[in-house]
Amino acid sequence: MLPRKSTALARSRGALISVAFQIGTLVSVERNRRRMTQQDLANAVGIRQIDISSVENGERLPKTVKDQHIDKLFAAVELPKRGLHANFVKWWRDNAP
């Protein structure tokens, strides 16, 4: 028996939220390893502190945060800016439920 569509969608949504949170945790850990505050990182990237908080909490970024900001964010914490993590954050910004 196949799962109901609503059950499958809920599981998919939950999995995506989990991935977004895990990436946010990775960004937070790397930021803290560099002894940076969220405001320090926001200044380096050119976005608001609340946007850094959103990434770290796995929340959807506003459309005002452009691809180059996300690339700069990942470069600032020395994570691959063109890697899967950055690409997921870009996708999440545009498609989060």
Q: What is the pLDDT of residues 23-52, one digit of tens each?
A: 999 999 999 999 999 999 999 999 999 999
Q: What is the pLDDT of residues 20-31, one digit of tens each?
A: 999 999 999 999
Within a domain: 86: yes
What is the CATH number for 73? 1.10.260.40
State the residue range of the domain holding 50: 27-95
Q: Which residue type sits at 91?
A: W
CB atoms closer than 10 angstroms to residue 66: 14
pTM: 0.87
Return the pLDDT at 8: 79
Within a domain: 71: yes
96: pLDDT confidence band, cut at 50, 70 and 90? confident
Rounded percentage of the chain residues whose pLDDT exceeds 70: 95
Within a domain: 36: yes
Distance CA 26, CA 50 (A): 17
Within a domain: 82: yes
